[in-house]
């Protein structure tokens, strides 16, 4: 294992060496994100009785997790560098690495290049290709990316249309079920100004399979999703309201969460139907020392085979700063998932208190070093037998209450 890690590190060093050599003249930018720590539990039955959690607390078959004191380890770091320039036109390349629980499990998670200034009269427009995190939208507090098409692709973005910026991409994500190649056409309009402090983003995704002939007529081969985001800033904070409507392969799709049960693309299985969902989240700045993060979300996934569900999540995280660098936060969250076929309802609530040492005041100050303790209760009345697309079956009800505690750091740059 050590030898493999050494080989990977050596390969990375060699790959980045040419870019590092151009740092003086080629505009290199470094960026990254990390969350790392340990979570311990009083539940002797969890994780083989080891006393340490290896997953997050959420309702059974749920999606998000109220992440304060309740998130797994992850780091990612990368750089972007201009690699060619002629006049106003230039190309840059982005390399980005990431790793989960194991320090030796490092992989290249982004590698893409973009051309800037290639079109006359379109100074902001870019052409790009490669593997990238593409224009993701998320609710940070519950660790859900609800509009996430990140994968390999090619596209043009930031085309100035006067009233908005236009973006078009052809993405090639991994298939979700049967191994066939997928195509995702992603079209968006962003920055539609509604006022000095509000704007709108709208988009349409259409996904379909390559070689989509199946022997069974009820197998899902395509789907679409319409998304709209309204963002409002005001004197006491900001708020984002998102509405999404998906059909068939994108019913409940394009959503990713840490350890969640959802798949972004639902092809190669029986998944015809529709979904609609809303996310409303933001931050409230009561005064310089007291702020609140909040989130409310709902999704109704109604499938023709009666295997959908209704998901609801609501929570808040008030935070008080005692000094410029010390703060206390209290996070309260609730989540429920009701099976469409009547098998039952799973739910969870948690309360976490955290003492934090951070780089300034406010809910977005990072780095943040935390000591935390959590009390949670959850009831699971149904599951899918360990399968993503399994039949929803009643389990008779299982109740678990748990106390967890630990520490972590969250930082970005």
**Rounded to an integer, what distance in angstroms lies between the CA atom of residue 59 and that of residue 376?**
11
Length of the chain: 413
Give per-residue pLDDT as tens, 150-202: 999 999 999 999 999 999 999 999 866 777 899 999 999 999 999 999 999 99
* Predicted pLDDT at 261: 62
Task: Report pLDDT for 6.
Answer: 37
Nearest Cα neighbor of 321 from 359, 364, 288 is 288
In b/e form, how buried is each residue of 163-190, taking b as 16+ CB within 10 angstroms?
ebbbbebebebeebbeeeebebbbebbb
Q: Are the C-beta atoms of residues 186 and 154 closer than 8 Å to each other?
A: no
Q: Which of 41, 129, 65 is nearest to 91 (CA)?
A: 129
Separation of alpha carbons 22 and 84, rounded Å: 11
- pLDDT > 60? residue 380: yes
| CA pair distance 253, 207, nearest whole angstrom | 10
199-216: per-residue pLDDT in tens? Answer: 999 999 999 998 867 776
Residue 12, phi then psi, degrees to nearest 5: -65, -45
Q: What is the pLDDT of residue 409?
A: 98
Phi/psi of residue 20, nearest 5 degrees = -65, -30
Residues 378-387 have a mean pLDDT of 95
CATH of domain 2-412: 2.40.170.10
Residue 193: how many other CB atoms lie within 10 Å: 11
Provide the 3-class DSSP secondary structure of residue 1.
coil
Q: What confidence tens digit (pLDDT) does each residue in 270-287 have?
A: 999 999 999 999 999 999
Percentage of residues of the chain with pLDDT beyond 90: 80
Confidence of residue 1 (pLDDT cuts 50, 70, 90): very low
* pLDDT on residue 45: 79
pLDDT band with cut points at 50, 70 and 90 for residue 18: low
3-state SS record for 260-287 = CCCCCCCCCCCCCEEEEEEEEEEEEECC
Q: Can you say how many angstroms the Cα of residue 88 is from the centroid of all Cα atoms in its chain?
A: 34
Weakest-pLDDT range from 32-41, 94-103, 225-234, 329-338: 94-103
Angle at 56 between CA 55 and CA 60, to 5 degrees: 100
pLDDT of residue 25: 43
| pLDDT confidence of residue 214 | 72
Judged on CB neighbours under 10 Å (0-12, 13-18, 19+), 357 is middle
pLDDT tens digits, one per residue of 252-261: 999 998 766 6
Task: State both tokens at 357.
Answer: 């040492």
Domain positions in the chain are 2-412
Q: Supply the pLDDT for residue 46.
A: 77
Tokens linked to 229:
């985001």
Are 126 and 155 in contact, with CB atoms under 8 Å apart? no
Q: Is the pLDDT of residue 223 over 70?
A: yes
- CA torsion through residues 191, 193, 199, 201, sign: negative
pTM of the complete model:
0.92
Average pLDDT over residues 212-224: 83
Contacts of 219 (CB under 8 A, 6+ apart): 268, 269, 270
**What pLDDT, on the 0 to 100 scale, is given for residue 13?**
44
Q: For residue 412, name the pLDDT band (cuts at 50, 70, 90).
A: very high
Rounded CA-CA distance 343/263 in Å is 21
Phi, psi of 260 (to 5 degrees): -75, 165
For 354-377, what is each residue's pLDDT tens digit? 999 999 999 999 999 999 999 999
pLDDT given at position 103? 65
Report the alpha-carbon distance of residue 364 to residue 284 in Å, rounded: 12
* Each residue's pLDDT tens digit, 306-336: 999 999 999 999 999 999 999 999 999 999 9
Percentage of the chain exceeding pLDDT 70: 91
Q: Which residue has the tokens 């979570």?
A: 39
* H/E run at residue 2: helix 2-20
pLDDT band at 262 (very low <50, low <70, confident <90, very high): low
The stretch 220-229 carries a mean pLDDT of 97
Q: Is the pLDDT of residue 68 over 90?
A: yes
Q: For residue 86, give every residue at least 6 positions away whose Cβ sits within 8 Å of its Cβ, in sequence order, or none.
A: none
Mean pLDDT over all residues of the chain? 92
Residue 8 has pLDDT above 80, yes or no: no
pLDDT-based confidence at 101, cuts 50/70/90? confident
């Amino acid at each position: 294992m050590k030898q493999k890690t050494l080989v990977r590190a050596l390969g990375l060093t060699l790959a980045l060496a040419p870019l590092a050599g151009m740092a003086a003249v080629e505009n290199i930018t470094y960026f990254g994100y990390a969350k790392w720590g340990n979570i311990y539990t009083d539940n002797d039955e969890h994780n083989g009785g080891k006393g340490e959690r290896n997953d997050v607390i959420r309702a059974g078959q749920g999606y998000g997790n109220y992440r304060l004191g309740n998130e797994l380890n992850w780091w990612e770091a990368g750089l972007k560098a201009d690699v060619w320039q002629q006049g106003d036109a230039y190309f840059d390349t982005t390399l980005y690495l990431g790793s989960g629980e194991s320090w030796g499990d490092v992989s290249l998670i982004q590698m893409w290049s973009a051309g800037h200034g290639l079109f006359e009269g379109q100074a902001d427009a870019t052409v790009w290709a490669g593997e990238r995190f593409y224009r993701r939208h998320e609710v940070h507090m519950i660790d859900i990316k609800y509009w996430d098409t990140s994968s390999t692709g090619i596209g043009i973005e930031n085309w100035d249309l006067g009233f908005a910026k236009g973006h078009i991409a052809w993405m090639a994500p991994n298939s979700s079920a049967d191994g066939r190649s997928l195509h995702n056409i992603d079209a968006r309009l962003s920055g539609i100004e509604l006022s000095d402090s509000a704007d709108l983003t709208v988009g349409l995704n259409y996904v379909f399979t390559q070689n989509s002939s199946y022997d069974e007529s009820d197998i899902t081969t395509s789907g679409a999703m319409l998304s709209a985001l309204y963002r409002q800033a005001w004197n006491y904070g900001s708020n984002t309201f998102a509405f999404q409507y998906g059909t068939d392969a994108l019913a409940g799709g394009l959503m990713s969460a840490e350890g969640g049960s959802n798949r972004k693309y639902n092809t190669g299985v029986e998944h015809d139907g529709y979904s609609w969902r809303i996310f409303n989240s933001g931050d409230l700045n009561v005064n310089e020392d007291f702020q609140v993060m909040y989130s409310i979300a709902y999704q109704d996934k109604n499938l023709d085979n009666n295997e959908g569900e209704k998901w609801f999540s609501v929570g808040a995280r008030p935070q008080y700063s005692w000094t410029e660098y010390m703060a206390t936060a209290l996070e309260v969250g609730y989540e429920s998932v009701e099976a469409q076929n009547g098998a039952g309802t799973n739910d969870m609530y948690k309360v976490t208190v955290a003492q934090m040492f951070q780089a300034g005041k406010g809910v977005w100050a990072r780095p943040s070093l935390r000591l935390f303790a959590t009390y949670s209760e959850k009831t699971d009345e149904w599951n899918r037998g360990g399968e993503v697309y399994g039949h929803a079956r009643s389990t008779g009800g299982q109740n678990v209450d748990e106390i967890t505690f630990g520490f972590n750091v969250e930082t970005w740059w």
